[in-house]
Amino acid sequence: MSSTLFSDDHWNGKLFTGIWTTGSSNSPVIEPATGAVLGQVAMADAQIIRKSAATARECQKAWAGKSYDQRAAILRRTAVAAEQHFEEIVNLLVKENGSVRAKAQFEVSLSIKCLQESSALPASSCGEVLPSAPGQLSLARRRPLGVVGVISPFNFPMYLAMRAVAPALALGNGVVLKPDPRTAVCGGYTIARLFELADLPSGLLHVLPGDGMVGAALIADPDIAMIQFTGSTQAGRKVAESAGRHLKKVSLELGGKNSLIVLDDADIETAVANAAWGSFLHQGQICMASGRILVQRNIYDRFVIELATLASSLKVGNPADSDVALGPLINEAQLNHVAHVVRTARETGAKVMAGGNADGLFYPATVLADVSPANDAFRSEIFGPVAVLTPFDTDDEAIALANDTEYGLSAGVITRDVGRALRIGDQLRTGLLHINDQTVNDDVINPFGGIGASGNGTSIGGPANWEEFTQWQWVTVKGEAPKYIL
């Protein structure tokens, strides 16, 4: 195995179609912390999508025909390759994605765990024996879909691609991955290279960065059986509309405006630590971020002061520096969105208790207090390091505030009374619920998905992977064919 994941110019200006091929047009890879150009990402087009989808479909037939242990062995070897190149991948995430080192290490670890767990899928039960008449068999078995199109985002670029790519391949599918061009190296080419080192059959996995038109071509292609999309709700609606027109199975993992409810019996120091983690981790660029901190009124004032104090102590800067807690936002467009939401919130009654002023792409941990439900900051997904605080009086009011949103991804409740938290949790419209934890959680083995504007009710991960990346086939077997009489 190579001592380095990438040699000089291994991916620069290239696409991965089972082999590394030179693209016809490029987009620069920008390090958000410094503005340095790290290289060029080759951009795919509709013609390349068509060719890759057809190639993956043809290669998938032989792949699905391999024994379960052959597929499992390749997934295991890919995990070993990722472990060997752990620090190199971490460094890529720090540079290309703006991740602080701890976040990057966590993301690579999750991706390795995803590969390890996916390697167990081929050997697990793939169907059921159904009741039938004596002398015949009735079976329901899970079969690969064919080729899965994966459209992945920039924020956790490696893991949010790997969590679809690995189980889809493990279950006998081919994959065409369109990573976000802003993070195509750590979110696409790294995955391609790891599977290449593990001797995945050529042509089964394709990595093709591109714009929205390329995504549209992927969805429309007749050789793509399913789309797994992770991204914004706005883009997800377009993906769902197109997938519906083409009668494609689609899994949507979209945005969130997630509530962390802090009850009055909570330990305030612990609750503040949870709120800071949920709001500021990776500059708040996480779909599960704690977008609303709902705090019971009799501890609210103290909570606001302590969270603002903690936020003001968090260092912002180049994530390559070891003492930095927050790196840069991904680009200027995201910075402008965050700044607009904070400015509008202040103008409509919210109090800025910490942060609120950018320095280039670096936006400090910001605390907005006294945010009313009428304020846009209460409703919009900010995708930036902004804690939005709102007081409540009763448990019923907390439930109503948490449910006052079109989203339904994640929720957390902090309290010493678990029974009380469960009663509240039972009434929250959310796909993920965490008692005595903040809202940002994923453990690979769990089904992950939201409802409403956070997704289409599908889940990915753990036991849900069989549902997502295969389809049922009913099989009956009789000793001899019956003689039907009309």
Six-digit token string for 148: 């899965």
Residue 375: partners with Cβ closer than 8 Å, 6 or more residues away: 344, 345, 348, 349, 350
DSSP string computed for 418-443: HHHHHHHHTT---SEEEETS-S----
> Which has the closest alpha carbon to 190: 157, 154, 228?
157
Residue 10: partners with Cβ closer than 8 Å, 6 or more residues away: 20, 189, 193
* One-letter amino acid for residue 55 of the chain: T
366/329 Cα distance (integer angstroms): 14
Q: How many Cβ atoms are within 10 Å of 37's Cβ, its own excluded? A: 10
Which amino acid is it at 48? I
Whole-number Å distance between alpha carbons of 255 and 381: 7
Integer CA distances (angstroms), 86 to 93, 183, 424, in order: 11, 17, 41
Pairwise CA distance, residues 227 & 109, whole Å: 25
Nearest Cα residue to 194 out of 281, 299, 112, 255: 112
Distance CA 297, CA 277 (A): 22
Distance CA 124, CA 32 (A): 42
Closest CA to 440 of 285, 290, 262, 231: 290
Place of tokens 């391999």: 66
The two three-digit tokens of residue 354, written as one number: 């910490």
The rounded Cα 71 to chain-centroid distance in angstroms is 24
Beta carbons within 10 angstroms of residue 321's beta carbon: 13
Q: Which amino acid is at 238?
A: K
Give the C-alpha separation, 402 to 257, whole Å: 9
Whole-angstrom distance, CA of residue 469 vs CA of residue 446: 15
Residues marked active site are found at 253, 287
Handedness of CA 59, 61, 66, 70 (dihedral sign): positive
The half-sphere exposure of 380 on its side-chain side, counting CA atoms within 13 A, is: 17
For the purposes of burial, counting CB atoms within 10 Å of the CB of 51, is it exposed (0-12), middle (13-18) or buried (19 or more)? middle
